[in-house]
Amino acid sequence: MSKKSELVRNTLIIGAGRILPQAVAFLLIPLYTAFLSPQDFGVVDLVVGLSALVVPLVTLQLEFSVFRYLIDSRLDVMKTGRVISSGLAILILLTGSLAILYLLIGQIVEIPYFYIIILSILATVFANFFSQVSRGLGKNLVYAQGSIITACVTILANILLIVILKLGADGMLLAIAVGSITGSVFFYFKLGLKRYVKKAYMQIDMSKELLKYSLPLVPGGISWWAIGTADRFLIALILGVSSNGIYAVAYKFPLILNSFFAIFNMSWTESAALHINSKDKNKFFSDVFNLTIKLFGSLAILIVAFVPLVFGILVNSEFQEAYLYIPIMILGAFMSSMLSLYTSIYFAKKMTKDILSTVIIAAVFSITLNALLMPKIGLYAAAISTTIAFGGMMVYRHFRLKKYVDITYSKRSIALLIILFVFSSLLYYLNNSMGNYLNVVVVLGVILMFNRSTLGSVKSRLRTKVQRL
């Protein structure tokens, strides 16, 4: 199987496990905005954001280390067992220490949502670990199944706890924990991890090797949090929790782009690690990067064009202000996606230490810009600072990595996407009925022509797969 076919195959498998749950979750926005106030929604978003900070500190980003080392040991059962057992032993030790420390702090300081927060964090930690084990073993179909089960259980739990039992923010947080626990149990038994988790496989040398890879990622993970999530806490502090609820609803729309890209990036990270030393790596990587710009740049513009048609249907009037920030946030999501492509090269080369410096600089820049601009321009500051931080890091890494992989872009494609994004955004902010429909027609027509060769190739591959089945 060729490199590109392998990448497409893995993307389709992972995509099957992510698209449906993400689509259903997006369609639950009316439920959230109808049954939760901006303040409740803002509180939930802050707790989720806090978890995003705590998780890399607790896990020491061990799941990424396990994933990378499993790629190299798939054909060796004993080595695979050493990686999984050693990684899981460290994780249990770390999470156990966190739970004890948290319970002790809880005796001194009153913490809202006390038990739900720790349950949600621990459940998320193990769900992330087992899902990365699944990918590291090359079991992408199992990963897809686990993702569907986790998402569907979370969605059903949301409906039960928020709509029927009226638990509000507590219900939404508890639903996250229930979904993650269910996913962890599924992964453990479906992957047959019992044969890999043995005391004899636990080795100090392997543990040290895994930590050597993952530890440099911890400050980077915190800095990523500072760029993408710390602004939520600044919003709550400067503008109020209700404003954070509005910003959280606006973020649901760029999350569509992030979700689709996450599907692709999971298979891309694996392909980058497998082919980083290939003779034709420059051409292969350039082709993938140009394809990504075309497809996800097009998707970003399509989302901008379609939002005016569905926003009023999906979002309660209390959250109407969220409409103003969506195009800027979508641009930031696109920059973040392109940046992730470069990050995969660092992982493939096992250069995790080199990731740190740029992320820290970007994080400090983002927080500083937020603090300076937020009192003056409100929520626009959060959207703008995040976009600039991701864009700046992407440009820097492009030139920094040239000595390892020389990536060449199509200037024509980039120019066309910039023009189309500006056109779509102008009609978006004019926001009149005729302009909104014109926006969709023009953008959809141009994008279909722009991607006709790629869409034709995908259609042909899907037809071949169906015929084989």
Predicted pLDDT at 468: 60
Mean pLDDT throughout 430-447?
A: 93
Q: At what angle do helices 217-228 and 204-214 cross, to 10 degrees?
A: 40
Mean pLDDT throughout 250-258?
A: 86
**C-alpha of 189 from chain center:** 25
Residues 193 and 281 in one domain: no
Give the pLDDT band of residue 418 (cuts 50, 70, 90): very high
Predicted pLDDT at 181: 93
Residue 170 vs residues 41, 114, 162: alpha-carbon distances, Å: 11, 10, 8
Domain-ending residue, one of 214, 229, 250: 214
Residues 304 and 204 in one domain: no
Residues 202 and 234 in one domain: no
Mean pLDDT throughout 266-273?
A: 73
Residues 122 and 194 in one domain: yes
Question: Do 178 and 149 form a contact (C-beta atoms < 8 A)?
Answer: no
266 Cβ neighbours under 8 A, 6+ residues apart: 10, 14, 135, 140, 143
What does pTM read for this prediction?
0.70
Predicted pLDDT at 414: 92
Mean pLDDT throughout 389-396?
A: 88
Residues 223 and 179 in one domain: no
Please give the Cα distance from 353 to 361 (Å, whole number).
14
Residue 12 lies in a domain: no
Predicted pLDDT at 355: 67
Give the pLDDT band of residue 215 (cuts 50, 70, 90): confident
Please give the Cα distance from 228 to 17 (Å, whole number).
25
Look up residue 191 and give its two tokens: 């992957």
Residues 274 and 197 in one domain: no
Closest CA to 270 of 11, 86, 1, 12: 11
Residue 49 lies in a domain: no
Predicted pLDDT at 385: 92
Predicted pLDDT at 16: 56
Residue 282 lies in a domain: yes
Residues 175 and 283 in one domain: no
Residue 252 lies in a domain: yes
If you average pLDDT over every residue of the chain, what do you get?
83
Residue 388 lies in a domain: yes
Going by the DSSP 8-state scheme, the letter that residue 420 receives in this structure is H
Look up residue 430 and give its two tokens: 């004019």
Number of domains making up the chain: 2
Predicted pLDDT at 353: 67
Compute and round to an integer the Cα radius of gyration of the chain: 22
Task: Name the residue type at position 124.
Answer: T
**Does residue 7 surpass a pLDDT of 60?**
no
State the CB neighbour count (10 A cutoff) for residue 254.
25
Residue 35 lies in a domain: no
Residues 344 and 379 in one domain: yes
- Start-to-end Cα distance in the chain: 17
Predicted pLDDT at 400: 84
Residue 51 lies in a domain: no
State the CB neighbour count (10 A cutoff) for residue 111.
12
Domain that holds residue 329: 217-469
94/223: higher pLDDT: 94
Domain-ending residue, one of 163, 189, 214: 214
Residue 111 lies in a domain: yes
Instruction: Summarize pLDDT for 51-82 with one digit per residue, the tens.
Output: 777 888 888 888 888 988 888 887 788 888 99
Residues 266 and 190 in one domain: no
Domain-ending residue, one of 198, 214, 230: 214
Residues 147 and 193 in one domain: yes
Please give the Cα distance from 112 to 168 (Å, whole number).
14
Mean pLDDT throughout 321-340?
A: 92
Instruction: Summarize pLDDT for 101-145 with one digit per residue, the tens.
Output: 888 888 887 777 778 888 888 998 998 899 889 988 888 788 888
Residues 267 and 389 in one domain: yes
Mean pLDDT throughout 425-443?
A: 94
Look up residue 21 and give its two tokens: 């749950």
Residues 68 and 193 in one domain: yes
Closest CA to 298 of 264, 257, 251, 327: 257
